[in-house]
Structure 1
Amino acid sequence: MAGHSKFKNIMHRKGAQDKKRSGMFSKLSREITVAAKMGMPDPDMNPRLRAAVNAAKAQSMPKDNIQRSIDKASRSDTESYEEIRYEGFGPGGVSLIIEALTDNRNRTATNVRTAVAKNGGNLGASGSVSHAFDRVGLINYPASAGDAEKVFEAALEAGAEDVSSSEDGHEIWTAVGDLHEVAKALEPVLGEPEGAKLAWRPQTMVAVDEGDAATLFKLIDTLDDDDDVQTVWGNYEVSDEVMEKLG
């Protein structure tokens, strides 16, 4: 079972993301539009759209912005976004999976490749690192949803495979095909989740020292600043001591 501190490191530092609210809204808006375009524009009838809307609400995205993003999907002049996954290695030999939504494959590939190369890493071919991750469903709840026992029992009853809880919140892991059914079953007990999405869960973790961690976080921040990049996953683990030094 992966601890919460590990998963927090797997994705990104929350403090860094809190400073990029407008960029975050842009990414959330893009995901909402893509989800609405791929399925029904009604969140109740479209699991991916429902998850995207819940994620936007969890970040306090205004309702008007959410509705505009949904409406944009039905317009003929809306950009056509493509889902792309990049795989490679970062500082310290960590494995990275970078997921993007883009309307210009060449632009995104150039930006991602440049960011990785300038920060001690390199991109590999498709499949070069994903074999070391498990494709799973991930549902996030805040600590306020309940204590660890309550969340564990609710997740077990809903058909989840694993749960990680800490003072920062709860991660509930599911099989890929069960993600939206489990998320829906949890809502009457725990409320709407902060997020429900497909995730890449590393099979083993790589400890990163202070020097490599600083460069790695710089790389992740650079990727986060790119509007096309939606999520960065990795198998790195940074100790609390190193995190404190980095601030």
Structure 2
Amino acid sequence: MAGHSKFKNIMHRKGAQDKKRSSMFSKLSREITVAAKMGMPDPDMNPRLRLAVNAAKAQSMPKDNIQRAIDKAIGGDMENYEEIRYEGYGPGGVAIIVEALTDNRNRTATNVRTAFSKNGGNLGASGAVSHGFDRMGLITYPASAGDADAIFEAALEAGADDVSSNEDEHEIWTAMDALHEVARGLEAKLGPAEGAKLAWKPQTTVEVDESNAATLMKLVDTLEDDDDVQTVWGNYEVSDEVMEKLG
């Protein structure tokens, strides 16, 4: 399990799919509303909103929910959300980046700091770990979208930089400023992506042993359970053997 694994990996591990889905819908709605407010409320004219809407559709979010999130921005009755990044270290010296959308900076900072301190980590200053990551675009498709060779060929034609495939999904990495263009190209060939967003790709990874893995997973879970936290990225690798022991 790699440090940029997304929601469905956590859902599978914890077996709390309903709770996670509700939380995921809330986070997706917040991103749609913010994207619609920052640009035009038309997905065809607003690349960030288009990606957010496609990500919501890929997670089977009802159309009414998506439209309500857009209408909230149009109506001007939304909270003023601020994008904030936190950086710190988890158990075993793992580097972690937390991205949040919040209407209360103090609340979110307190929650993130508490999550780190109670789960074997510590929150650092801005820039403490991000120098060890590359800011890139990440597009994900389920394994059912096609075999690794077919996905690689489609990604290459669309202008992607790298592709990583496993039994669960295909991860397609792009230059940051090429994300929207590559996502459109892939959508034409493969249909809507399961997810498309800016991501933090670690330059090197840290293998986490069994003694630290359980605490690390609890830290990641705690952070992702917070309503203000949108994404959690890390440079960790946990072997399948260790993950099986954790259950």
Cα contact 1:10–1:234 (8 A) shared by 2: no
- After the TM superposition, which residues 5-84 of structure 1 pair with which residues of structure 2 at under 5 Å, given as runs? 5-6=1-2, 9=5, 13-15=10-12, 16=14, 18-19=17-18, 20-84=20-84
Q: Please state if 1:210 is matched with 2:207.
A: no
CA deviation digits over 1:111-137, x for unaligned, max 9?
100111011100111111000000000
Ranges in structure 1 where 5+ consecutive residues have no aligned partner: none
Counterpart of 2:240 in structure 1: which amino acid? D
- After the TM superposition, which residues 1-247 of structure 1 pair with which residues of structure 2 at under 5 Å, given as runs? 5-6=1-2, 9=5, 13-15=10-12, 16=14, 18-19=17-18, 20-247=20-247
Counterpart of 2:215 in 1: which secondary structure?
Answer: helix
Residue 119 and residue 7 in structure 1: after superposition, are their counterparts in 2 closer, same or farther (change >3 A)? Answer: closer
Cα contact 2:4–2:232 (8 A) shared by 1: no
In 2, Cα distance between equivalents of 1:205 and 1:7: 8
In 2, Cα distance between equivalents of 1:48 and 1:136: 15
Counterpart of 1:58 in structure 2: which amino acid? A
In 1, Cα distance between equivalents of 2:55 and 2:175: 20
Cα contact 2:138–2:172 (8 A) shared by 1: yes
Cα contact 1:10–1:235 (8 A) shared by 2: no
TM-score in terms of structure 1 length: 0.95
Q: CA deviation at 1:59?
A: 1.2
Q: CA deviation at 1:9?
A: 4.5
In 2, Cα distance between equivalents of 1:173 and 1:127: 22
Q: What is the number of residues matched between the two proteins? A: 243
Ranges in structure 2 where 5+ consecutive residues have no aligned partner: none
Moved over 4 A (4+): 7-12
Cα contact 1:94–1:236 (8 A) shared by 2: yes
Cα contact 1:72–1:78 (8 A) shared by 2: yes
TM-score in terms of structure 2 length: 0.95
CA deviation digits over 1:62-110, x for unaligned, max 9?
1100000011001232101000000000011100000000000000000
Alignment RMSD: 1.4
Q: CA deviation at 1:14?
A: 3.8
Cα contact 1:9–1:237 (8 A) shared by 2: no
Counterpart of 2:10 in structure 1: which amino acid? R
Cα contact 2:3–2:233 (8 A) shared by 1: no
Cα contact 2:54–2:194 (8 A) shared by 1: yes
Counterpart of 1:44 in structure 2: which amino acid? D
In 1, Cα distance between equivalents of 2:188 and 2:31: 25
Q: CA deviation at 1:7?
A: 5.3
